[in-house]
Chain A
Amino acid sequence: QLHLQESDPGLVKPSETLSLTCTVSGGSISSPNYYWVWIRQSPGMRLEWIGSIHYTGNAYYNPSLNSRAAMSVDMSNNLFSLRLYSVTAADTAVYFCARVEVGVSVDYWGQGALVTVSS
């Protein structure tokens, strides 16, 4: 059974960088059939797609983030990461990592990590 677990950065100060990792167990991150994604959920429960990355390094980001997001894959540790630069209070949310099976949908989710941006 695939399991995804987000790290827990907790509190991040405005203008700083939010860093999250997602550790994948029960499956390999270097399968060609999957993309690895970050999705966040605002306090008002809206879901927002942040970006997707393939193990080859191909990545796609939501333009709404104004080029502030960067994702990477670490195949040796079977994890992937998100960095979100220059955060503001509007970036306060629960951040989920998840897997997308090509031709299917987002089929497995982590439990989510609450990130609060505040001084």
Chain B
Amino acid sequence: DIVMTQTPLSSPVTLGQPASISCRSSQSLVNSDGNTYLSWLQQRPGQPPRLLIYKISNRFSGVPDRFSGSGAGTDFTLTISRVEAEDVGVYYCTQASQFPYTFGQGTRLEIK
């Protein structure tokens, strides 16, 4: 299985400041079709996960443009340009390039 490792596990951030979360995969996520199926999910307290970013850098419908994704191969980053109070929650990276699909352990974003 592909292991997804996120850093940091916890990120205290000041409102209005940027935040970034890293995700590293144990092997390349480039699929045989040439795409890289790396996504980012947000889970607010008491809610199911919500898709933010797919295929490294594509924002899903309705996701604010302060969220962006980057990376390639085995190293990926989610960046929030200016953190707002509603961004509090746990963020997960997930890969769908190889079955079984796997998830990172989650990064808890909290406000200082």
Contact = CB atoms under 8 A, between A and B. Distances in A.
B105 A46 contact: yes
B23 interface: no
Contacts of A46: 103, 105-106
Interface of B is mostly: loop
A115 B87 CA distance: 28
Interface in B58-112: 60, 90, 92, 94, 96, 99-103, 105-106
Nearest to B54: A105
Nearest to B101: A49
A100 B48 contact: no
A90 interface: no
Contacts of B100: 49, 60, 62-64
Contacts of B102: 49
Interface of B: 1, 35, 37, 39, 41, 48-51, 54-55, 60, 90, 92, 94, 96, 99-103, 105-106
Given A104-B54, A104-B55, 12 more contacts: A45-B106, A47-B49, A62-B100, A64-B1, A96-B48, A105-B39, A105-B55, A106-B39, A106-B94, A107-B60, A109-B48, A112-B48
